[in-house]
Structure 1
């Protein structure tokens, strides 16, 4: 029986899988060249193997269906001879972050898919990504570099909300554990964003890109302080790593195209995190903060997109024919 043609959902998902994984490949190859800890190296090797396989299979499925092969990223986007820019602990934190994002993205992609071979591919990739995530967390714990969420004392019995003051932004109650969870995770993601902007800004030679990254660092620090202060209002102090995570190297490592693509990708993930945090929160002041900060990320992502278009770096996904143009 002939295979069904890929749907628009499947085409878009496979294109995204290839481009994003080909980008991550270059980062992981550099990590592998500069990592020092053997346990961390094992996690990087596993991550790289999954990323290479995912990109390869995504491209195969696209090409076999007659879709153009995306260009993505390659060895020209990274200088493997550059000095160490990020610490081993940051490498684990970065992989933890993309692992969590990978599990969520693969699950969403699976829900979009119909063809059995595509579903089988995504199911297997999801299983591998889950195993990788667990390996990464276990390694971080064993190396004492994992940043744990805060621990809190809770009431002894289940309770129901009594009145509208539970959501009041004026008479603020203490945070519930769901709100704490989202606030803490957004603290962690903004730490990653700040460190990436720092490392990229001190190594790029482009004044334009440097300016964009300095803006991103400022935004990450602002958002980090907002979430941290919200936690502190309830006497919750999120434990954070004391490691600087970024070396003093100023030698360029990654292409400007890869840098901007990664920042726009992380900005999109950040908006999704803020949307989830807003939906899960009951205090109106927290909801307002998420919505306000999400708008700021959106503008930052747009600036990145404009930079990619200006420099001819933005690769187009497959698109539907323009019927109006054909009629002309």
Structure 2
């Protein structure tokens, strides 16, 4: 235990990590209870071990530092005896997505932490998630479960932009590799979001949550189709993963609290992806599209937060004391 207290950055990163990985623990337990493919099972077990380690160590850090341990998610948020909701083809793309998000989060947490023990914790988490990501990619590629990005013939030589027409929404120039990278990545994340919304919508008994998930499914489908259209306009095939890895199961698997929080996490990641893509794209129409679609996600996410607040499902992050309230007592 350090003599220096945790900084706001460290508390925020640890609190977020605890909440998200306690969710992953319950989700992965269910996938492990239903998976049949042995290689996917091994990857899921490794991912569960990583999430359980993080939850346990963060809990101990908070106890040592007298920081309240979040409630997060528990065994009460999942029915491990429920029928199979996801086909085995879902498992590796799901791990690819979550490990990618986790690796970015661990890297950011490491770079914003000060204390050596916290930096060591996030360094270990980053190393483990990177190793597991590479292992998942290797297995997924061997099995044909990873959707590969487009391949193009690169123009010879180095060229410079000669005119502002390069930026124009009305120009006919082909997409750059940078723009293609973001379009492809956002197709994949929206395909994953579509599958999760589909699964959640058919296994909730709440009309409000079901309607929210159906709306999310429609948004994800629309966005993926828009991005695929942009790629095809450059005479490049748009790689599309399968969104049919959800079974016809309708029995309750996850709590509404867990499903709504998962969608909040996906929405947050989606907004971040669109912001990065908007900045990196040099065609004005792409930039405007990303900004317009970001607003749609933000409004959707806001409605999700409203549902969580109304039902008492949204935990408050640690915050500074309200000095005005204290001084008026």
Normalised by the size of structure 1, how large is the TM-score? 0.98
Instruction: Please say if 1:289 is aligned against 2:289.
Output: yes
Unpaired runs of 5+ in structure 1?
Answer: none
Normalised by the size of structure 2, how large is the TM-score? 0.98
1:205 and 1:179 mapped to 2: Cα distance? 41
Instruction: Please say if 1:116 is aligned against 2:149.
Output: no
How far did 1:91 drift? 1.4
How far did 1:239 drift? 2.2
Instruction: Please say if 1:267 is aligned against 2:274.
Output: no
Counterpart position of 2:146: 146
Q: Relative to structure 1, is the Cα distance of residues 2 and 211 closer, same or farther in structure 2, using a 3 angstrom cutoff?
A: closer
1:131 and 1:177 mapped to 2: Cα distance? 26
CA contact (8 A) 1:15 1:59 kept: no
2:153 and 2:304 mapped to 1: Cα distance? 42
1:232 and 1:277 mapped to 2: Cα distance? 18
1:102 and 1:236 mapped to 2: Cα distance? 30
What is the 5 A alignment of 1:76-155?
76-155=76-155
- Matched length: 328
1:62 and 1:266 mapped to 2: Cα distance? 26
Cα displacement string for residues 140-170 of structure 1 (whole angstroms, at most 9, x for unaligned residues): 1111111000111110111111110100101
1:172 and 1:20 mapped to 2: Cα distance? 43
CA RMSD after TM alignment: 1.0
Show structure 1 runs of 4+ deviating over 6 A: none
CA contact (8 A) 2:184 2:239 kept: no
1:243 and 1:285 mapped to 2: Cα distance? 27
Unpaired runs of 5+ in structure 2?
Answer: none
What is the 5 A alignment of 1:125-274?
125-242=125-242, 244-274=244-274
Counterpart position of 1:47: 47
CA contact (8 A) 2:15 2:317 kept: yes
1:243 and 1:4 mapped to 2: Cα distance? 48
2:195 and 2:85 mapped to 1: Cα distance? 10
1:232 and 1:144 mapped to 2: Cα distance? 23
2:158 and 2:220 mapped to 1: Cα distance? 36
